[in-house]
Structure 1
Amino acid sequence: MSQDMLTTQLATDPARTREPLVFGGLTEAEGWALAPITPRDRVHFRTDRELPLTDFRAALPAEVEVTYDEGDGLYRVDGETGTAESLAGLIRAWCAAGGYATVGLRPETGVRRRAPRDLPAAFLDGLCRHYCRVSLKRLQRNMSTIRLHLPDNDDVDQQVAEWVLKAVSQYDETKSVPFGAFLATQLSKWVHDLGRNAYGRTAADTENKQQKAVAAFTAEHQRRPSEKELAAYMGQSVATLRRNSQTVATLNGLRNLQSLDGGADTVEFVVPDSAEVPDEIMGEAEQSLLSHALTAACAPDPTARRDQRAAQPNVLGWATWYLTTWGGQTKTQLSADLGTSVRNMNVHADRAEKALKERLTELGG
């Protein structure tokens, strides 16, 4: 059969022709046409604490749109093309006047987006319901990773719904790619972003690159690479590889907090007699007790169900408490280093604080 005949048969074969999906009485193509994706300028930034959004919006031009990603702690200010730099200047000035520190403020031009609310409500509702079900099925292969960060079923459903809406805002119907195919390519990237948000962007990306390089070298040579070989394979110096390996080792150690948790009632602490030792030694002993209590407070709760958040190690809470208490870093600095928001850090730190208070009560009792 010639290529032309095969093409004609595929085009006319009723078994291969799929009817367009209809949501709210509109086909997908008709729905996208009612709210086409448009170019705009955007300013991204985070802050050391939440902004009063009503006051912030009032300080910006009327045609500007402000959105806030609560989970990521990321503010987005969208304006007309050509206004990115002027918007960035306004934002810097307003935040400085109010005493808000900005983190990673970046103007971006030519961003193509749509506001999901511009789509007909019935169309958007039907589309989201359909693609949330499709996404949950597709993500079954990634569910073990997702469960590390979202142990509750309701949290998983909510996150998938947010991802579908995010895809709706980014989908460019002019590129002749079906929305379902576009969503599928984005989902795997967004699953990886869960780890970046929880463990820090730099650490998670470093670990991912090293794992890929080791896997590629092993497949090519049928053995694991030496340190020197891995450095050459990744185009790095041995010193850089060692530094990055330490970052990865630290990340893996934080993930395995459960193995460090002996519990306050099962560990014997040898505390010197305060009458016979200098004050600084007693201070070090107290810091050791606090450090262990913090680690224990952030470890998984063995009595919790596997689908509960308490059953997972609170890595970000541990890092926030430890590095701001003993590491000499501010939350703003740590937020920039880890690539996550101060708000996200505070949520995890509050969980750690609640458990830590219970541990300190046990130690003092």
Structure 2
Amino acid sequence: MNHLPATPAVDTAPTRSREPLVFGGVPEAEGWALAPITPRDRVHFRTDHELPLEEFRRELPDGVTVSYDQGEGLYRVDGACGTASVVAEWVRAWCAGRGTATVGLRAETDVRRRAPRDLPPAFLDGLCRHYLPVSLKRLQRNSSTLRLHVPDPDDLTQQVSEWILKAVEQFDEGKGVPFGAFLATQLSKWVHDLGRNAHGRTAADTENRQQKAVAAFLAEHQRRPSEKELAAYMGQSVATLRRNSQTVATLNGLRNLQSLDGVGPDGTEIMLPDAHEAPDEIMGEAEQTLLSHALTAACAPDPDARPDQRAGQPNVLGWATWYLTTWGGRTKTQLSGDLGTSVRNMNVHADRVERALKVRLVELAD
């Protein structure tokens, strides 16, 4: 008698799935639908003086809104699709009428964003409370970079909270990617942007590529590469590698200049040689040291300015512009390419240095 093979047992128990997240009594998926992402035209710009924001808001054309990112010193003006060029001209004229110069003004069309304030307050509050500890844990792998740019734990919590709100603004629920996955991807990008914004995009990207190449060579050969080997490994000429290495060295030098945070210059005593005893070349080096000291002090934050104002932050770009064009043999056009910024923006920062440096040089002459 033939027997049919036994039918394998099938687990008919339902697969366990994660319960949907609920914030403020509203399921997450439903919450996004309450404030869908919408297209608009946007104008981005910075200024050489902080704008009176409430007055600016009152005088904006109907249907146009503005937000201000204090951390980046960046204004974002939003209008209806098709109005980017008109809004850009209006912003430029309004600022010029009040003696304020715009820096890096750029119009962008068809930007898809949502305003976090359009979400139910309880939903937004619950979402932020849930994703804050998740994000902080996710960012532990970037702790060394974060400590460099955001050393205070309270400031880090604030920065991550701002990033969560930024992700809420950009998240497009129609693309089928969960918000948590979108946020994790953006966090890695924004950590990298901290260095790019502080020290110039091209310089930070160059440093990142060189570090990765050195690490890969070390893993493969168990030793550091020579200059020629590293150039070949990166597919560059030795001349290009040397030029890029100078950019990286400048970047690291800027990071290590304690005096740019307002701590060093005025509290440090400089011992000068006796002009009658020291040879001319030593006195020449002493004068260069004094000039460098004065330049660095001129780039320190203004102690009378608020930390969120441009004058209350170290003028890194102004320092790089003055130092590298005076002693580094570089032109502003070359620096513009290396640092990923416009010559006009460099001039704005360099003018701030010049005003402060004139005072310092008078003190030195006395």
Letter in 2 for 1:126: G
Q: CA deviation at 1:243?
A: 1.5
Q: CA deviation at 1:290?
A: 5.3
Which residue of structure 1 lines up, in the alignment, with residue 92 of structure 2?
92
Alpha-carbon separation, structure 2, partners of 1:67 and 1:128: 20
CA contact (8 A) 2:136 2:160 kept: yes
CA contact (8 A) 2:203 2:251 kept: yes
2:268 matches 1:270: no
Which residue of structure 1 lines up, in the alignment, with residue 289 of structure 2?
288
Alpha-carbon separation, structure 1, partners of 2:247 and 2:238: 14
**Residues 122/11 of structure 1: CA separation in 2 closer, same or farther (3 Å cut):** farther
Q: 5 Å matches for 1:100-249?
A: 100-219=100-219, 224-231=224-231, 233-249=233-249
Letter in 1 for 2:201: R
**Residues 271/290 of structure 1: CA separation in 2 closer, same or farther (3 Å cut):** farther
Alpha-carbon separation, structure 2, partners of 1:112 and 1:236: 39
Which digits, 9 at most, give the CA deviation of each residue in 1:260-289, with x for residues without a partner? x89845x64214159x999xx989745523
Deviates more, 1:163-172 or 1:140-149: 140-149
Q: 5 Å matches for 1:52-63?
A: 52-63=52-63
Which residue of structure 2 lines up, in the alignment, with residue 305 of structure 1?
none
CA contact (8 A) 2:37 2:172 kept: yes
Letter in 1 for 2:67: T
Alpha-carbon separation, structure 2, partners of 1:210 and 1:135: 28
Letter in 2 for 1:199: H
Greater relative contact order structure (CA < 8 Å, 6+ sep): 1
Alpha-carbon separation, structure 1, partners of 2:18 and 2:12: 12
Which digits, 9 at most, give the CA deviation of each residue in 1:329-358, with x for residues without a partner? 99xx99x9575999xx89xx9xxx9xxx9x
Which residue of structure 2 lines up, in the alignment, with residue 304 of structure 1?
none
CA contact (8 A) 1:200 1:337 kept: yes
CA contact (8 A) 2:213 2:230 kept: yes
Which digits, 9 at most, give the CA deviation of each residue in 1:86-126, with x for residues without a partner? 21222222233333222222111111100000000000000
CA contact (8 A) 1:197 1:339 kept: no
CA contact (8 A) 2:26 2:123 kept: yes
2:29 matches 1:29: yes
Alpha-carbon separation, structure 2, partners of 1:327 and 1:163: 36
Letter in 2 for 1:136: L
Alpha-carbon separation, structure 1, partners of 2:120 and 2:242: 54
Q: Secondary structure at the match of 1:43?
A: strand
**Residues 161/315 of structure 1: CA separation in 2 closer, same or farther (3 Å cut):** closer
* Residues paired across the two proteins, number: 325
Q: Secondary structure at the match of 1:98?
A: coil
CA contact (8 A) 1:255 1:315 kept: no
Q: CA deviation at 1:208?
A: 1.1
Q: 5+ residue gaps in structure 1?
A: 300-308
Which residue of structure 2 lines up, in the alignment, with residue 12 of structure 1?
14
CA contact (8 A) 2:46 2:75 kept: yes
Which digits, 9 at most, give the CA deviation of each residue in 1:186-224, with x for residues without a partner? 111111122223333232122112223333455566665
Q: CA deviation at 1:158?
A: 0.6
Which digits, 9 at most, give the CA deviation of each residue in 1:239-261, with x for residues without a partner? 33322110101222333447xx8
Letter in 2 for 1:198: A
Q: CA deviation at 1:293?
A: 7.2
Alpha-carbon separation, structure 1, partners of 2:12 and 2:110: 39
Alpha-carbon separation, structure 2, partners of 1:85 and 1:9: 62
Letter in 2 for 1:66: V
**Residues 271/173 of structure 1: CA separation in 2 closer, same or farther (3 Å cut):** farther
Alpha-carbon separation, structure 2, partners of 1:9 and 1:81: 54
CA contact (8 A) 1:294 1:318 kept: no
**Residues 57/225 of structure 1: CA separation in 2 closer, same or farther (3 Å cut):** same
Q: Give TM-score scaled by structure 2 length.
A: 0.72
CA contact (8 A) 1:65 1:77 kept: yes
Q: Secondary structure at the match of 2:105?
A: strand
**Residues 315/26 of structure 1: CA separation in 2 closer, same or farther (3 Å cut):** closer
**Residues 222/288 of structure 1: CA separation in 2 closer, same or farther (3 Å cut):** closer
2:251 matches 1:251: yes
CA contact (8 A) 2:42 2:111 kept: yes
Q: Secondary structure at the match of 2:108?
A: strand
Letter in 1 for 2:14: T
- Percent identity, please: 68
Which residue of structure 1 lines up, in the alignment, with residue 75 of structure 2?
75
Q: Give TM-score scaled by structure 1 length.
A: 0.73
Which residue of structure 2 lines up, in the alignment, with residue 302 of structure 1?
none
Q: Secondary structure at the match of 1:156?
A: helix
Which residue of structure 2 lines up, in the alignment, with residue 303 of structure 1?
none
CA contact (8 A) 1:42 1:79 kept: yes
Which residue of structure 2 lines up, in the alignment, with residue 306 of structure 1?
none
Q: CA deviation at 1:324?
A: 4.8
